[in-house]
Each structure stands twice: as structure tokens, then as C-alpha cells.
Structure 1
Amino acid sequence: MSFNTKITMSETPNPTTQKPVLTRSPMGRNEKILMAALLFVASIALFIRFVPVSFLGIDVVALSPGSAPTTIEKIDIEGTETYIPEGAIKFTTVTIESDSLTIWEWFQAKNDDIKELRNREDFYGDKTKTETRKINNFMMQQSQDTASLVAANFLGFDIIPVIEGAYVTEIVSESSASQFLELGDLIVQVDGFDVRSPEDLGNAIQSKKPEDTVTIGFKRSEGTFEIPSSDQELRIEQISLGSHPRLEDTGFLGVVIQTPLKADIPFDITIDVGRVGGPSAGLAFALSIVDYLTEGELTGGLNVATTGTIDQYGNIGSVGAYPQKAEAAARSGVNLFLVPPSGYQKILKIAAGRFEVRCVSTFDDAIIQLDDFGGNGIQITSELNIPTPTPSPETIDENDGYLTCAEAVLETTDN
């Protein structure tokens, strides 16, 4: 049996499977509005966050809490024995945000009790930033020299300071002085007579009449932030005086001056606080020098913050930016804040129980307050056989124009 079989196979390929093409329908009107709104909001947010507030014509500076460095770490004393205490005396600083202040930071500062906005012109006056830094440097140097003098005299050295000249810290616009003087100049002569102090300059000028011609001798420290030294060139200018704005028929030069004090202390004290300027660390310097030069704990082992200027007689002067300094102190973990009468209420409010606050009007007040917290300042005076610190008068007189600690504490109680 025979089979003849013919098989024919035909392979037909399957048609290629095509993926569906997704097409996006055009954005609807509502979607376009939403997208535009999101982009607008994002642009506004970036604008507010990064653009300086000066772009809006708002010319301000913002003061915010700075730091509270330990003062003794900035002090070097050579030529006598020193002692490192366990406690710390801190000076308080403020951060100044100026050109970099953004719209967002400005808005935050307006709604923050700790930060403070100041008009730039009111804050800096007519001075440039360089001039402001120069004056602040002078004030810081003077606070250091004065603090060294106060500390040494507290310890019984009885040093009399040397005063030479009158240091120019302000110049009245369009006055006689504005024609030739610069901030930081040191006036040392009037009509050939030496100027040993600001009082000498004031008496010499006020003895003249408007339009009188006077010869002013002064020294200038070019390109530095230092007080002009005695070996610098004496410059001479002959000028005509203006009219005093308040005193009739009295000559007027047109300067605000301060005393450039120097003290010959029998050991070397160097204080380096870097770029920090201004006079508000005077009390901290004086206390720290005493603490450094004596055994034991002037602070009772506590961390103590201070602010306040100090003069050669130990009087503590008011400063500014108290809320910012109080917050800086709180963040550094201080136990106690010593403050002049003008700042007592403000710092007490910011403290809010985080640290103790005590009012001080003099260096002796500070020693007495520290003694109440376990300090050894009064013990030091007994061991050295020198006068015991005496508290400042607790005067209460609303009409004398002088705020005492007693008045500051009373105002706080009444409020």
C-alpha cells in the first residue's frame, strides 16, 4: 500500500502589535490659572526670602542677640601672678544686620520682642561705616584702659591716669570743624596752648567770640583705627569760629569729644576682643581683671553676664540693646546678670526666671552684689587692708534727672 501525501505549509506572520499613543489634552483654563498662581506665589516667596529690604526703600538695621564670650579668655596679664577662676564673667554682644537684611528677616524682626529695628540714619548718624568702626574701636580701647585703671585702684595701687588731648567722636555738619577735622582726630592745642583734656578745649573755645580766628593743633592716625600717638605729626589749621547754638556771643567749633585716658599700671594687661567694638564691656573687663589677679572666686563660681560702661571713678553708665544682650546671656546659660539702672526692667523682663538680675550703679555695687552670691570681693579688700566697697546711694528723686538702682527697682515693683 502506498500513500502519496503532499503537505503544504504556509507561515503567515502575525501583524505587529502597536502600543497605543497617549496624547495629552491641552490645559484647561482652570489648570492654567492654577499653574500661574503657583509660579506667582513661588516668585513672591523667593523675593521676600532673599531680596534686601532696602529694595523697598526701607532703610533700617536690625539688632539681634549676639554672644556672651567669657571675658577672661580675652585677657592676657604679664608681670604679676594670675589665677584662673572656676566661674566666668561674660560680656554681652549684639549682632547688627544691615545691608544683608532681607524682607523676610525684616518682617520677622517687626514681630519679635527680642529683635529691634532702628532707622539707619538714626543708628549711624552722618558717619560712614568706616568712621563708625573707628569710633567704636576708640571706645572699646578706652573701656579696656579705664577698666584696667579701676581694677588696679580697687586692689590698692592708687594710680592717677594721664589725659592728653581731646578725641573727636562727632563733627557738626557745616561747622568750622567740618572744614578740616575728621572723626578720630586728637586735638592737642588751641592757639599754641596745650589741650590736656576735653575741659581745656571747651574753655578755650568758649572764651572766644563768633568769627574769632583760632589756631587748632591736632594729630591724625592715617588709615588705622588707632588713637593718634604722641610721635605723630602735629597738624596746624587756622579757622574762624561759628556761633554757639545755645550760648549768646560765644564761639563754636562744632565737635563732640571724649577723654583719651591712659594709665601707667605696674603690669601689662592686654585685651583682645577681635572685631567687637563699643564701650559696653567696661564693667566686665574690670571685674575680670580683679578676678584674674586674685585667688578665689569673685563670682562665687557662677557664670555672670554684665553690660555697662565704666569711668575712671568706677561709675557704671547706661548702654543700649538690653533685650538682645539679655537673650544672648540666657542662651549662654548664665546664672546672674549685672546691669545699670537704665536696663534693669528690660533685662528682668527678658530673663523670665532663666537667670537672676541685679542692678548696679558703681563698681563697688557689683562687688557687693557678687558677694551676696558667694563671691569673695569683700574678703579680698579685708586681706589687702584696703577700703571696703560701699553701696551707691539709694536716692529716690524723680526730678534730679538721674536714675538710681533704688528707683529702677521701685519702678519694676510698681509695674
Structure 2
Amino acid sequence: MPRRTATLLASLLTLIALLCAGALIPVPYSEMSPGPTVNTLGKHKGETVLQITGHKTYPTSGHLNMTTVRVTNSEYKMNLVEAVYGWLTHDNAVVPHKTLYPDDKSADEVNQENAEEFSQSQESAKVAALKQLKKMKELDIKVGSHIVVGSVFKGGPAEGTLHAGDAIKAVDGKAVHSPSDVAKLVTEHKAGEKTVFTVIPAERVQAAEKAHKEPKGAKNITITTVKAPQEERAIVGIEAAVDYTFPFDINITVNHIGGPSAGLMFSLGIIDKLTPGDLTGGEFVAGTGTIEETGKVGPIGGISMKTVGARAKGAKFFLTPEANCATATRDIPDGLTLVKVSDLDDAVTALKNIREKKTDKLPSCPKS
């Protein structure tokens, strides 16, 4: 066999061996890619996304799409070839596995945390939307709020005595108005001391919420504090949170999506449905961003994949959290306009300019 032919054959066999090895060698990475987008004004899997009952709603048109990122599951073992291909692929991102699934949390804990964030973002979106409508002088709606047991830690002193959803009215006879009040009053004790929680059971709270009333029927529960792990402070093993009572029903039917990044688009969808006229003017607008009850919009992860996913579905405008602008502008999909927003006021004003064809007034993300 000629030397040159032998060399080429050896090289080819070496390449094949390396590719085979690469396909078998697991690497500690996961992949993120553009996920589905959902029009908050329309339907998802046959169900209306925003279902409002007990208050007048108005027809809508156009799109206000929330956007998502698809990630490989925690058990998926990426190999070297897949990682290299992912790094070379324009629309995907390969990231360290522990970025998505930290070593100190199980996959179930990560999924539960994402589900809780998604649920909380829905509540924040409702509150922010109704406050914005009041600011716009469209509706003057009162939203009731109360402090509740958000979660009970397994094995903690409160397990079996306090339950998620219980409304906390006072600790040691002192009224609480925020989750931090609960923590402050508990930590005034030393480990081993007793503290008294005045609570309304979760079932009474749920009944009151269905009737759109403030919950009643409080009772006192005594709990012995313990020392916090690795800290010199007393705890009872709960996490306090804020719950809201709305004067009518707003249900969000999107399931199997985690994280808080759809908050902004849920708020805008609610505003559109509760006001006459079209917020979008019939245009295809997508976006992302966490939302606080005050209307402040916060940054999210995977912005580049969300813009790609939105444009692929037909979006022309993308509402972008101000803090994500620098990353988003590195690779803007053709035909997509990034609109910088820092709060709900910015988003509502941007939509007004879009529907009035005044796109020159839109605040754009500065290019990095």
C-alpha cells in the first residue's frame, strides 16, 4: 500500500475513533435552546390563557407573547460531540450542568422551586396589572393582601402545626405586615423558647378568597423554636410569603412552565383584556421579564434564545428588560425590534407607540 494512502487511512481511522470516543464520553454540560412562545391574549393547548370572570372584559387582537427557554432535563448525559455541536450552533447555548441543576439541590427541588416562582409571578402580575389600571384611571380596584405560611420545612418545629396557606395575623401578639416581620419576631427569641403564632387556617383563607373577602377565624398556636443550622438564631422552620385577595377571578391556565420570567407579559395581557380597544393595535409583540407588585420589570436568563424563538413565530417587537439589553443586542434576529423597558409604565407607553405607528419613539436597547 502506498505510504500516502496508508497515512490517509490511518488519519481517517483515527478521526472515526475520536468521534466514537466523543459520542461515548459524558461531559458536565447541559443545553439551552429556544422554547415555545404563548400568546397571553389567546389559547394554549385549547384553553384560554387568561380567564377573567366576575368583571367585564373586552375583545383583543394581535399578540402579547410570553417566551420560554427549553433545557435538557437533569438526567440527560450530554456527550462531547453534542457539546461541541451545541457550542457551534447559532441559536443554542451549552452551559455547565450545575448552572441549571446546582449540586446542593435535587432535580425535584429545582423543579419545585421553578414551579413556585412561576406561581408567584402570576400573583405579582395580577397585582401589578390592577395597580397599573388604577394609575391609568381605567379601573379603581382594591386588592387585599395578607401574610401567609409560604412553606413548611420538613423536620422543623412547625411541621404538623402550621401549614402552607395559613394566614399569619400576629407573632407573640404583635401584628405582622410583611414576611420580614415574621422572621424578625421569631429571631427575637433564643433557641428553645416558645413563640405564639396567631393564624387563620388555610382552608378558611381559601374559602374567603373564593368569596373575595378577608379571611377570619384566627387561633393561637405555640411553637418551640430551634437553632438555625450553622447560624446563631432561632427559627420555627417556615418561610413566610404574601398572598392576595382579588375582587374577581383571574386565572392563568399555562402549565408545565417554570420560573418568573412571564410576569410582564401576563400583566400586559390582563390590562388589555380589562380595557376597551387593543393594546397592541393588532401587532405581534413578544417579550419577557419578571414583574414586581410595584410594576418594576426585572432581568431574566436566556434572553438571546427568547428573541430567536419569538422572531421565529412572527414577532416584530420584543419588550426587553433594561438589564438584559446588553446581552440581547449582541445578536438581534433580523426583523425584530428590541424595546427597552424598566417598568410597566414603559411597556404600556411602548405599546401605545406601536399601535399608533410611532415606532421612532420606542426606547431601543443600546448596542453593546
**One-letter identity of the residue aligned with 1:316:** V
Cα displacement string for residues 352-390 of structure 1 (whole angstroms, at most 9, x for unaligned residues): 5421111111111110111111269xxxxxxxxxxxxxx
Tell me what 2:127 maps to.
Answer: 149
Q: Does 1:159 align with 2:128?
A: no
Asked if structure 1 preserves the Cα contact closer than 8 Å seen for 2:225 and 2:235, the reply is no
Tell me how far apart the structure 2 counterparts of residues 142 and 291 of structure 1 sit (CA, whole Å).
21
Tell me how far apart the structure 2 counterparts of residues 212 and 346 of structure 1 sit (CA, whole Å).
50
Cα displacement string for residues 202-254 of structure 1 (whole angstroms, at most 9, x for unaligned residues): 21134235x453558799xxxxxxx998579x997634224886xxxx62549
Q: Does 1:68 align with 2:68?
A: no
SS in 2 for 1:300: coil
Given candidates 218, 241, 263, the residue that maps to 2:227 is 241
Tell me how far apart the structure 2 counterparts of residues 134 and 235 of structure 1 sit (CA, whole Å).
28
Q: Does 1:366 align with 2:342?
A: no
TM-score, normalised with respect to structure 2: 0.73
Counterparts in 2 of 1:126-137, with a 5 A limit?
126-137=104-115
Asked if structure 2 preserves the Cα contact closer than 8 Å seen for 1:166 and 1:196, the reply is no
Cα displacement string for residues 116-147 of structure 1 (whole angstroms, at most 9, x for unaligned residues): 33333343332222222222222212222222
- Quick one: higher RCO (CA 8 Å, sep 6+), 1 or 2? 2
Q: Does 1:100 align with 2:56?
A: no
Distance 1:193 1:231, change over 3 A: farther
Tell me how far apart the structure 2 counterparts of residues 336 and 342 of structure 1 sit (CA, whole Å).
17
Which protein has the bigger strand share?
Answer: 2
TM-score, normalised with respect to structure 1: 0.66
Q: Supply the RMSD in Å over aligned alpha carbons.
A: 4.3
SS in 2 for 1:373: helix
**One-letter identity of the residue aligned with 2:343:** T
Distance 1:198 1:156, change over 3 A: same
Given candidates 177, 180, 193, the residue that maps to 1:213 is 193
- Structure 1 regions of 5+ residues with no counterpart? 1-26, 172-176, 220-226, 377-404
**One-letter identity of the residue aligned with 1:77:** I
Tell me what 1:4 maps to.
Answer: none
**One-letter identity of the residue aligned with 2:124:** T
Tell me how far apart the structure 2 counterparts of residues 258 and 345 of structure 1 sit (CA, whole Å).
35
Given candidates 92, 105, 108, the residue that maps to 1:115 is 92
Tell me how far apart the structure 1 counterparts of residues 203 and 329 of structure 2 sit (CA, whole Å).
41
Q: Which moves more between the two structures, 367-376 or 287-296?
A: 367-376
Q: Does 1:281 align with 2:262?
A: yes
Percent identity between the two aligned chains: 25
Tell me how far apart the structure 1 counterparts of residues 240 and 228 of structure 2 sit (CA, whole Å).
21
Tell me how far apart the structure 2 counterparts of residues 279 and 256 of structure 1 sit (CA, whole Å).
22
Asked if structure 2 preserves the Cα contact closer than 8 Å seen for 1:142 and 1:260, the reply is no
Asked if structure 2 preserves the Cα contact closer than 8 Å seen for 1:301 and 1:375, the reply is no
Tell me how far apart the structure 1 counterparts of residues 85 and 158 of structure 2 sit (CA, whole Å).
41
Higher-Rg structure is 1
**One-letter identity of the residue aligned with 2:278:** E
Given candidates 302, 319, 331, the residue that maps to 2:300 is 319
Distance 1:196 1:81, change over 3 A: same
Tell me what 1:261 maps to.
Answer: 243
SS in 2 for 1:259: strand
- Structure 2 regions of 5+ residues with no counterpart? 44-48, 208-219
Asked if structure 2 preserves the Cα contact closer than 8 Å seen for 1:165 and 1:196, the reply is no
**One-letter identity of the residue aligned with 2:307:** A
**One-letter identity of the residue aligned with 2:127:** L
Q: How many aligned positions are there?
A: 332
Tell me how far apart the structure 2 counterparts of residues 118 and 239 of structure 1 sit (CA, whole Å).
41
Asked if structure 2 preserves the Cα contact closer than 8 Å seen for 1:163 and 1:196, the reply is yes
